Amino acid sequence: MSASGAFESRDGLRLATVHQALAAPRARIAIVHGYAEHSGRYEELLAELAARGYEGHAFDLRGHGASQGARGHVDDFADYRGDLDRFLERLPEEPGRPRFLLGHSLGGLIALDYCLHRAGTVAGLAVSSPFLAPGFRVSLLQRAALAAGRFTPHVAVPSGLRLDDLSHDAASVAAYANDPRIFRTVTLGWMRAVRTAQEEVASLAGEVRLPALFLIAGADRIADPARAQDLFARLGSTDKALRVYPGLFHELFQETAAERAGVVADLVGWLDART
């Protein structure tokens, strides 16, 4: 059974955590969730990892879930980086028990940015549907809003997310729609911070050299799957693996049971080969 907790960010925010502690884990997995969601949506994955000997840990990003902070807002991507520093400090890397980072969507971008700036901190990186570019057409109005973010960073606008693009599983989509901890807005400052991080990660992909696994939804209409595959090809890692799931939507860990089982098996298999 997982346990909840919290830690304090460098600027004094209380950030909520979920832990699945094991007596003798094969490795520790730090999970970074996607935009607008929270760590509670990974309870099933935490249990599955624990059943295979992996100790899972997750936290709610600032402005998400039970964590403090303006909803969905970040002033600079360095804030996410600092929060992940603090979180990983609580997950010591011990001989024979490496730490791995797993990031989904926005969490995938955060994880890649982190490994770019914090080389050697974790033993390996896995990302699912990393948000490296939108999988939808950006309107002129959205482009104008992005430019305005420099002057009005805290202004929030509708995210425009289509729930049917999340998953083929109707129950999963309904759970997302009815979750009071999930919100439907983005701030202009967040949009600018994300764009800057996307450009930096894309330009410096060759400097990411640790073992890496990319899990890509082939029919993703939220995060561009082609951009993710292009970045994967340019990673500096000599140990890297790519899994593309044709027809699957953005939320790979929230897809139908049969499809989801294959994704989890690929993740666990990759971890097994590196522990």
Q: Give me the active site residues, please.
A: 105, 220, 250
CA distance 201 to 113: 6
Q: Which residues contact 75 (CB under 8 A, 6 or more apart)?
A: 153, 189, 193
Q: What are phi and psi of 208, to 5 degrees?
A: -85, 110
Closest by alpha carbon to 250, among 268, 213, 214, 225? 225
27 DSSP β-pair partners:
54
Rounded Cα distance, 142 and 5, in Å: 37
| DSSP letter string, 178-190 | T-TT---EEEHHH
Signed CA dihedral, 169, 105, 84, 148: sign only: negative
Record the tokens describing residue 212, joined without a space. Answer: 């890496």
